[in-house]
Structure 1
Amino acid sequence: MTQEQHFDVASYALGVLDERDASRFEDHLIDCPSCAIELESLLPVVDILSDVDADALVATEQSRRDGLMLKTMIGEVKRERRRANSRRLYSLAAAVVVFAMLSIGALFAGGQWLGSSDDQAPSQQAARSSKQLDPLPIAEGGTGLGGTKLPGEHLTGTDPRSGVTADVGLERKDWGTQVSFAVANIKGPLLCRLVVVRTDGASEVLSTWKVGEKGWGTAAQPDPLLLQAVTALPREDIAHLQIQAVDSKGASENLVRVP
C-alpha cells in the first residue's frame, strides 16, 4: 500500500476527491481490507464534522487564513455528506470489512475442518453401527428366546456341538430385509459375527459384536443377546444365516446355523 493510498482514505471519507480519484480509490478499497477498516474508523469523525458550526469554529481560530481553510473544508464536508453517494460509501465500507473478516475466519475454520474430517469419520461410522445393535423392541411376531417377540418370519436353530441357540426374525422391507436375532448359551470372551448366506452360495457379513466373560443366556447372564442388522437382499434370496466366532488371525468357526 502506498502513502498516497493512505491519504486517499481520509480524502475519500471527507468527499474531497474528484470523480476519477474517487473511482480509483474504490477499486483499490475492494482488495485492501486495511484501508476498508481505516475508512470505517473515519466515518464517525466525518459525521461529527458534518454537524460542526463552521462560523463558530472559525471565530476561535488564531489565524484568518487557517480559519478560511477550515471553513472551506467543513462546508465541503457538509455538502458532500448530503449527496446520495454517502449511502454507497457506508455500504461499500461495511461490505469490504465483512468480506475481509469472513475471509480470515474461513481460512482459520477451514484448517480445523480439514484437520478434523478424517478423525470424525470413524466415530460417525461407529455410531451408525452401534445403532443397528440396539436391543430389540417388543414387536408382533414369533416368540423368541427369553419371551422376546421377534418381528417378521420366525426361525430358530441350535448347534449340538457348541450348544449355542439362535432365534431369527426376518422382516421384508422395501429396501431389503431387516434381521432381528437373539443368541443364548454363548460364552466369552469371543468376537462374533452374523453372516447371511445367499441362495447362490455367496455370503455377506451383516454385523459383528463382542461377547464378554459372562456370556449371554448363561447362569452368569441369563438374558439372551438381542441384536438387529439389515441387508439389501430380499427375503427370497436368503438361504440361511450363520453366527460365527472369529479368532485374532481372522479364522472363523460356525457356532450355530439358522435354520
Structure 2
Amino acid sequence: MTQEQHFDVAAYALGVLDERDAERFEDHLIDCPACAIELESLLPVVDILSDVDADALVATEQSRKDGLVLKKMIGEVRTERRRANSRRLYSLAAAVVVFAMLSIGALFAGGKWLAPEQSSGGSTTQAAASSKKIDPLPDPGDGIGIGGLDLTGEVVGGEDPRSGVKAEVAFQPKDWGTQVSFAIANIEGPRTCRLVAVRTDGTSEVLSSWKVGEKGWGTAEQKEPLLLQAVTATPRNQIAYVKVDDVKSDGSADTLVSVGQ
C-alpha cells in the first residue's frame, strides 16, 4: 500500500484515471479499507461537481477562446464522471462485500476458537461431567439401544421379558451422592410409575415418580423414550440395582423392569 495509491482516490472519484490506472486502483481498493472509506466520502462531492453549470463558469472568463476551451473541458469531465460513477459504485460495493465477508469469517472463526470443546464420548462416561452439578440430559435421538442415547455416567440397561418394558440407567458419582439419569421405553399407559433404588444392605429408596399417558413412551404412538433424572445421597457403590414399579391405586406395586442386578 503506497502513498501514491492513496492519492489516486480523488483522481479515481473524478474519473480522470486512464483504464490501466483505474483497474490498478480497483485491485488496491479491495484490500484497503482506508481508501474504500475515503472513496465513499468523496462520492457526494463528485455528484455535486457533475452538476456544475459550465456556462456560469465560462461567463467569468475574459477570453472567449479560453471560455470555449473551458466549456468543452468541463463538458468532457462531466460526461466522464457520469460514465465512471456506476463503475465507482460497483467497486465500492465489491469492497464492502469483501470486508463484510472477511468480518463474518473472522467472527465465525473466533466463535470456533472460543467455544468449549465438546466431548464425543460413548455411552459410559463424558469427560466434561461435573462432580458438583447435575449433567444435562441428551437428545432422545433414536431411542434406547445402539446408536441411541448418550447418557452421562456408568450405563446399565435391560428389558423385562414379561412386561416388555425397556430401561437404560446411568449412574454418575457426585460430591453430594449419585446422579441417576434414566430412559424408559416400550411402556404403555395410562399408569403411575416410580423409580426405586435398592441398596446393597437390602433397604430401598424411591428416587422419582411420574405418570404415563395413553400414548405411552417408546411406543408406536410416541416414538421417543421417557427421559428423567433423579438424585440421591446414597453413594454409587451402595446401590445394588434400580427398578421401575407400576404403582396401583391401592398403593401396591408391580415391578416392570429391573436393571443393574
Question: Given the two structures, how large is their TM-score scaled by the length of structure 1?
Answer: 0.48
- Greater per-residue helix proportion: 1
Question: Given the two structures, how large is their TM-score scaled by the length of structure 2?
Answer: 0.48
